[in-house]
Structure 1
Amino acid sequence: MKIRSDILRVYQSLHTWVGICAGMLLFIGFFGGALTMFKQPLDRWISAPAHALPAMPVAQTDQLVRELLAQKPAARKEFTLHLQQHENVAAPVSWSEGEGERSIDVSATRWHAALDPSGKLLVQEEVPSLLAELIDMLHRTGGIPGRLGDEYIGAYLMGIAGIMYFLALVSGVILLLPTLVKDFFALRPGKNHKRFWLDAHNIVGIASLPYHIVISVTVIVFAFHDQFYGGIAKVVYGEQPMFARRAADAAPHHIGDLQPASALVAAVRREAPGFEVAELMYMGLETPRPMIRAAVASPRYLVRGAETGYVMIHPYTGKVIDTSMLPSKGDAWSDVVAPMFALHFGSYGGSLMRWVYFLFGASGAFLFYSGNLLWVEKRRKNQLRNGPVPQQSITTRVMAAATVGVCLGSMAGVAFAIVAGKWLFAAAENINSAYLTVYYCVFLAALAWAFWRGASRAAVHLLALCALGALAIPLTSLMALLLPSLGWWAHGSMAAIGVDVTALVFALLFAYAARLTARRAQHGPADSVWAKPGCT
């Protein structure tokens, strides 16, 4: 396919600069997004068994709800009945007084409740570990703190990066069109490292193009959904409300008239055959509009939530109120919106699809990292034959150091934050504050080290730091088994073991990358930004 050279130059400039401007922020978003594919395993790995209340028979669920509402009136505002028991579920019932869904309150207290063998209500108060939620927040905001109104500043910046990301995708495809057939599967290793990185960059970008288009569009929608809804409401709906509010019940209800939980679960199963009921969230039981949000899961369907669809049911009558967030039961608007959520979250296809999304997320991070490396290599000053080694421009050196510090620093920060959940469990007053402190200390230290030591030295050191952080995860579990006096723990479920195995694989990959980077710094072209100073 023939495209005029002047047009290609315009698109090359567009592709380069939007990629550079958004690349490092998107690297953190994609790396964090890859980890969120396994939020539950991470929660299981980090959850302390000492905080779990004794298990109780399913037959006691109805009695538990009655005792809870009678003895703890605060739970009538909102509580969750967990129907699945895992290491990260401390009790069958939990409730809290935190902020809304968009915010994370690292100090919010959560209460858990269960029944002892004699039927007595056991209540436990704690500040729960929010490791997986904090990694998800890193994915959504790029780790940029601060708020603007009801939303995080980082979320808006990620939305702007999403727009630039989409432009980079389109311009990249146009640039590759003239040589698509010839160069698509070409991966040419050798002395020309720039050609190798360009080939790898192009293969990853084109092979995962549909995934990246979906992610770029949904990132924009998620970041600016309030603005989109406001515009639609004003233009389309005018003075009418965009979302119809359910009419208030004619008469007040008495808390003793609640339908048994077992009957409500049965009603949800009748409405959603083929789905597994994961939890029931009771809301506003003493208001004119009481409701239960039943979370239902099935890997065969595209669902609205990160892992589940929802059925709204009346807690006093047992009648289904709303199925717009249940696959195949929603309206036309829901049928358009739900796939967008599902395609972004990877909440379909079971474990296999989660691994596919994990690999796509990791490859997306590689796409932005390699793009920055290509920018640096293209702008380096080449050494003339037998001439002196040129001094690279400040812009090139700064970009190389920033790429190494931000990208590798964020990965090392997450790794050490994960192990801090066990290392600091007994000493930290608030483990969630400890996660944030560890992450930002490691991240900022890595960034400072990259600028102080330069990209060539820092890349080796920081890759070794990433390897050490990843290796510390399975070593922590091993030491918990061998030295129980440390106060650490190691769960034996496949989900928790999977975290250890995956971390070990990444530790080996980081160590191998550190070795290759050190070799190139020592023996590569002396005029490269990645060459060790003083090498020839």
Structure 2
Amino acid sequence: MKIRKEVLDIYKAVHTWTGIVAGLALFIAFYAGALTVFKHDLAAWVAAPMHDTRPVDLHDAGRLMEETLRARPDAAEDLTLTLRATDAQPAQLSWQSPDGARQYLANFDASGQLAINEREPTAVADLIDNLHRTAGFVPGSVEAGILVIGFIAMMYGLALISGLIILLPSLVKDLFALRPGKNLKLMWKDAHNALGFFSLPFHLVIALTTVVFAFHDQIYDTQDVFIYEGAMMDQWTMPAPRVQVPSLAAKAGGPPAAQGTQLVPPALMLADLRELSPGFEPHYMDYHDLDSERPSVRIHGVDPNYMMRYDAFAIMHPYTGEMINASYLPGYTDGWTSWLTVFFALHFATFGGAAVQWIYFLLAIAGAFLFYSGNLLWIESRRRRAQNKGLPEQKTSVRVMSALTVGVCLGCIAGVSASLVAGKWLHGSVASLNTWHVIVYYAVFFLSIAWAFLRGASRGAVELLWLCAAATAAIPLTSLIGWLAPATGLWANPSSAARGVDVGALAGAACLAWMAQATRRRQRHGQPDSVWALARA
């Protein structure tokens, strides 16, 4: 395929500058996004062991909630009955303080009396999720950070399309080429092109869905003006399609049930959902505003046979058992909710089970490398070559971008690992552990950037890679210490999820150590005029 040179030059400029501006933020978003696929496993690894993990008997759950609400009326605003225990959350009744700093868990003790325990919940999964959604922009303001990442996603989409157009003329010749050797620019170009082309459908989906998520309010406002003529709110207030609850079928056609003062037994509501959606596996029941005029219970779960948002759910009335909204219950989605569900599922890998999750994880890690290699390609394309007079002084732009690429990318990796490890080492020693998760991440991140500028990209790359390897290796090492010496206050969760985190971290640390050694060899034996050469450092 032939494209005129002046046209290609335009697309190369678009691809270069959109990629450079967006690349570092996208590295953070993709690396954190890969980890969010297994964020519940990470939360399980950090979670401190509990003394009482006995599950609530589902047949006693109604009485437990009644007694809990009498003892703690403040729990009526948001009360969760966990049905499927994890390492981070036992199958008990729980609620949090208004600031989210404390979590309370209720169950019956051995004598049948109400027992309420208190602990600090782990929010490390929320930190990683926010990094994915915002790339760490505007700490403390997730909404503002999401808007920033929305604009970056637009540039990301432009970079994808322009990159494809640039590749088309040499697609057949260069697609399967990977030419390692002294020509670093050619090697990075081959790797960048192959990764970008073969993962293009995935990247297009991520770019499109990110823009929709970031600007959904603005999209709704535009629809309100041009489509609904200011009457869009009427669409939101329309009642959801009515779904008849099996246990109330005998009362169908009669007057609406009056709200009583006694909660419908959870076992009865779950039995109704089982009959309505046989493949739906409930995980927890989230009760809201039980002391208000509009109480509700949102029953969350999964069904591997359907695409879901973050998960599937149905909203029911906790005092009458009526279905309030079944639009996101598997088998009952239709119209706009079907399209919305597809958008969420394609972005968050909430379909297809573990196989799809691993595919998304690997694609996200490859995506992070795609942006990293794009920056390296830009640097190699603009460095000054050695002449007879000796090593040239590199451009300021090349030196700055080299240090930023090293500091931002490696600072993100080291910061996430250090924040996870801090969850165990600082447990019980600080007033707010969740605040320290954020402090540790940003401290390591910004110090890594400063170190890259102070030491230069060459030395900084090797040293920060060893920091990443050490911080990541500290994850399984911490578990090992907790297992061998529990008197230290550390612990090792025995679950398969927590062990999976240890094994994954060990493999990641080995890869980072290998990269540090390879970078060191490149320093010593690579081209002396490169920004990565030891002579340049």
TM over 0.5: yes
1:373 equivalent to 2:376? Answer yes
The match for 2:178 among 183, 187, 192 is 187
Select the residue among 220, 224, 228 that pairs with 1:237: 228
Does residue 334 of structure 2 align to residue 328 of structure 1? no
Report 1:95-114 matches (<5 A). Answer: 95-98=95-98, 108-114=101-107
The residue identity in structure 1 corresponding to 2:285 is L
In 2 relative to 1, CA 431–441 (structure 1 residues): closer, same or farther, beyond 3 Å? same
Once the two structures are superposed, residues 228-264 of structure 1 have per-residue CA deviations (whole angstroms, 9 ceiling, x without a partner) of: 12222233223431311659x97873332x2101001
SS in 1 for 2:236: coil
TM-score, structure 1 as length reference: 0.94
Q: 1:281·1:294 contact (CA, 8 Å) conserved in 2?
A: yes
Mapped pair 1:382 → 2:373: no
Decide which of 248, 254, 260 is 1:254's aligned counterpart: 260
The residue type equivalent to 1:188 in the other structure is R
Structure 2: which 5+ residue stretches go unaligned?
241-254
Aligned partner letter, 1:318: G
Residues 412 and 443, structure 1, Cα contact 8 Å, conserved in 2: yes
Amino acid corresponding to residue 382 of structure 2 in structure 1? R
More deviation, 116-125/339-348: 116-125
User: How many percent identity over aligned positions?
Assistant: 46
Which residue is equivalent to 2:206? 215
- What is the distance in 1 between the residues matched to 2:139 and 2:127? 14
Pair 1:2–1:284, CA change in 2 (3 A): same
Q: Give, as a single letter, the amino acid of the residue that structure 2 aligns with 1:483.
A: A
- Residue 360 of structure 2: which of 353, 357, 361 is its match? 357
1:62-211 map, 5 Å:
62-98=62-98, 108-146=101-139, 152-211=143-202
3-state DSSP of counterpart to 2:268? helix
**Aligned AA for 2:345?**
A
Write the distance in 2 (CA, Å) between the matches of 1:131 and 1:52: 22
Range with bigger deviation, 169-178 or 226-235? 226-235
1:300 positional shift: 2.2
Q: What residue number does 2:296 align with?
A: 291
Counterpart-to-counterpart distance in 2, 1:255 and 1:70: 12
- CA–CA distance in 2 between the matches of 1:478 and 1:172? 46
Deviation (angstroms), 1:57: 3.4
Equivalent AA in structure 2 for residue 301 of structure 1 = Y
Partner AA of 1:317 in structure 2: T
Closer/same/farther in 2, CA of residues 323 and 282 from structure 1, 3 Å limit: same
Matched letter for residue 110 of structure 2: P
Instruction: Say if 1:91 and 1:114, in contact at 8 Å, map to a contact too.
Output: no
Distance 1:388 1:265 in 2: 77
Range with greater deviation from structure 2 (211-220 or 51-60): 51-60
Letter in 2 for 1:253: Q
**RMSD after superposition:** 1.8
CA positional deviation for 1:22: 0.7
Instruction: Determine helix, strand or coil for the equivalent of 1:152.
Output: helix
Q: Distance in 1 between matches of 2:160 and 2:266?
A: 49
The more displaced of 46-55 and 7-16 is 46-55
Residue equivalent to 1:528: 530
Q: Distance in 2 between matches of 1:250 and 1:96?
A: 33
Secondary structure of 1:331's counterpart equals: coil
Residue 215 of structure 2: aligned partner: 224
Deviates more, 1:325-334 or 1:294-303: 325-334
Per-residue deviation, residues 60-106 of structure 1 (Å, max 9, x unmatched): 323222222232222222211110012111451112244xxxxxx6x
Structure 1 Cα separation of the partners of residues 293 and 62 of structure 2: 23
The one-letter code matched in structure 1 to 2:398 is: T
For residues 275 and 360 of structure 1, do their structure 2 counterparts lie closer, same or farther at Cα, with a shift above 3 Å needed? same
Equivalent in the alignment of 1:492: 494
Partner of 1:453: 455
State whether residues 96 and 111 of structure 1, in contact with CA within 8 Å, keep that contact through their aligned partners in structure 2. Answer: yes
Most deviating of 110-119 and 260-269: 110-119
Instruction: Give ranges in structure 1 of 5+ residues lacking alignment.
Output: 99-104
1:6 aligned partner? 6
Moved more, 445-454 or 119-128: 119-128
CA distance in 1: counterparts of 2:55 and 2:223, whole angstroms: 48
Distance 1:459 1:79 in 2: 48
Whether contact under 8 Å (2:104, 2:116) holds in the other structure is yes
Residue deviations 1:188-223 (CA, integer Å, cap 9, x gap): 112212111111111111111111001001111111
Tell me the residue number matched to 1:300: 305
Distance 1:221 1:229 in 2: 10
Moved more, 80-89 or 288-297: 288-297
Partner SS state of residue 330, structure 2: coil
Q: TM-score scaled by structure 2?
A: 0.93
